[in-house]
Amino acid sequence: MSVKKINFLLKLGLTIFSCCFAQFEKDFQLKLILSEPGDTIFLDSGFFPMLGNITLENKKDIIIQGSGISNTILSFSNQVSGSNGLEIKNCKNITLKNFSIQGYRDNAIAFENTDGLFINNLKIDQINKRIVSENINGVSIYKCKNFIVENSISNSSHGSGFVIKESQYGIIRFVEALNNSFGIKIQNSSHVDIHSNNIFNNSGGVILINTPDLSLNEVKKIRVFDNIIKNNNLKNKFNSKTISSFIPSGTAIYCLAIEESEIFNNTILNNKTLGIGIFSYLITNLTSSDTEYSPYSSSIYIHDNIFRKSNEFYPALNNKIGILLFLKFYKDIPPIIYDGNFNPKYLGKYNMISEPRRICILDNENGNYVNLNIKRNFTSWYKPFITRYNTDQNECNCTQKSTPEVILYENF
């Protein structure tokens, strides 16, 4: 057989191959457009390259079900249109389960304005080397409520494996988040349970942050418990213009301007900078005109966690917090760090913080503590004078009322 004929057959084969998978993409999108309440969209076994994003809008009671995470793989590695992989907007009671997504451009799965969503047994893997956007996430849940994410894996996202933003009433359980900038990120959201997860080899494990100038202006009623959070020492890939850049690599749990939340029964291992960090928005030196925003953390109950860290680790030295801790403690850094910034309106009798608003730390194994006393020790991050940190955990020897379990409005 001549070389010319072989080349012709190869080109013919590739054309047929491309047409088959283009047809799968068209059929998949058409089924979603025509779907009715109660329908299940089944995805066959196979590896399916996707050239555009897939959307589902203004639908309810729809299930998208693959044949297993090793059997049904949607690849957006060569996507030419759209930014997200799957987009679900303005829907109600949507279930995704039993398939994998590879190589997405922005978010692998993006939910927006959806009430009732259930993710089960998904695998998301960012295999693309070329990054076109900084905030690339595995699963993004934005302005949603009543959600469950479980039994799923998110790997190698430039942003967060799982990110919840301006949302309420959700559960994240039995997931693995690895090799991301952040494993699980909760931003300006409330009433979320994060439990029984394996979060490792990220830059930061669990990130709870409340930032100004967003429509939902609180992070409260969060429970973080029964997780294994270990070896989160990768480089933080966010640039210096974002709030996420302030979070040092080597962080297990980071709390910024949150309240009425509980962190307990976690196993926190070999995170080089922070086991649990409790901070106010003031440490960023960023300004805001949001008059409804409170920059302080308060009413946090940290108890019954286990901390372990090898002495081989240095804190992150490309971060202001990491540098402060290194200069004061070298490698023997207490795992629980509080910046000491409290809301002055909570000062009560004898100039003490009122009991319901205290940071309470109790019964943690190897859970040493330091209060950085930022207001007293620094005129700014760049001009420290003689520092006097407080390492007396008795100032936090108290209890708080347990944060209630999250109850969803919908039963899946």
Q: Using an 8 Å Cβ cutoff, are 278 and 300 in contact? A: yes
Domain that holds residue 183: 134-396
Q: Which amino acid is at 175?
A: V
- The pLDDT value recorded for residue 384 is 61
- The pLDDT value recorded for residue 311 is 81
CA atoms within 13 A on the CB side of 153: 17
Tell me what percent of the chain is helix, strand and coil, each rounded to the nearest 5. 15, 40, 45
Residue 199, pLDDT > 70, answer yes
What are the pLDDT digits (tens) for 143-174? 999 999 999 999 989 899 999 999 999 999 99
| Residue 371 counted as domain residue | yes
Percent of the chain with pLDDT over 70: 90
| Residue 187 counted as domain residue | yes
Percent of the chain with pLDDT over 90: 67
Q: Using an 8 Å Cβ cutoff, are 309 and 368 in contact? A: no
Q: Using an 8 Å Cβ cutoff, are 97 and 66 in contact? A: yes
Q: How confident is the model at residue 13 (pLDDT cuts 50, 70, 90)?
A: very low
Per-residue pLDDT averaged across 175-193, rounded?
Answer: 97
| Residue 264 counted as domain residue | yes
100 φ/ψ angles, rounded to the nearest 5 degrees: -120, 155
Q: What angle do CA 46, 44, 178 make, to 5 degrees?
A: 60
Supply 287's token pair.
Answer: 């300004």
Per-residue pLDDT averaged across 201-212, rounded?
Answer: 97
Instruction: Give the Å distances, CA to CA, from 397 to 169, 268, 349.
Output: 30, 21, 18
Q: Does 367 or 17 have the greater pLDDT score?
A: 367
- The pLDDT value recorded for residue 122 is 98
| Residue 88 counted as domain residue | no
| Residue 25 counted as domain residue | no
Residue 214 and residue 107: Cα distance in Å, rounded? 20
What are the pLDDT digits (tens) for 88-141? 999 999 999 999 999 888 899 999 999 999 999 999 998 876 565 667 899 999
- The pLDDT value recorded for residue 236 is 87
Supply 185's token pair.
Answer: 């990120």
What are the pLDDT digits (tens) for 259-274? 999 999 999 999 999 9
- The pLDDT value recorded for residue 386 is 67
Residue 8, pLDDT > 60, answer no
What are the pLDDT digits (tens) for 127-146? 876 565 667 899 999 999 99
Residue 40, pLDDT > 60, answer yes
Mean pLDDT, the chain, rounded, equals 89
Lowest mean pLDDT among 46-50, 64-68, 209-213, 290-294: 290-294
Structural domain count, the chain: 1
- The pLDDT value recorded for residue 412 is 52
Termini Cα distance of the chain: 59
Q: Using an 8 Å Cβ cutoff, are 174 and 197 in contact? A: yes
| Residue 299 counted as domain residue | yes
Which residues neighbour 103 within 8 Å (Cβ) at sequence distance 6 or greater? Answer: 75, 76, 77, 78, 79, 125, 126, 127, 128
- The pLDDT value recorded for residue 265 is 98
| Residue 407 counted as domain residue | no
| Residue 252 counted as domain residue | yes
Q: How confident is the model at residue 80 (pLDDT cuts 50, 70, 90)?
A: confident
- The pLDDT value recorded for residue 301 is 97
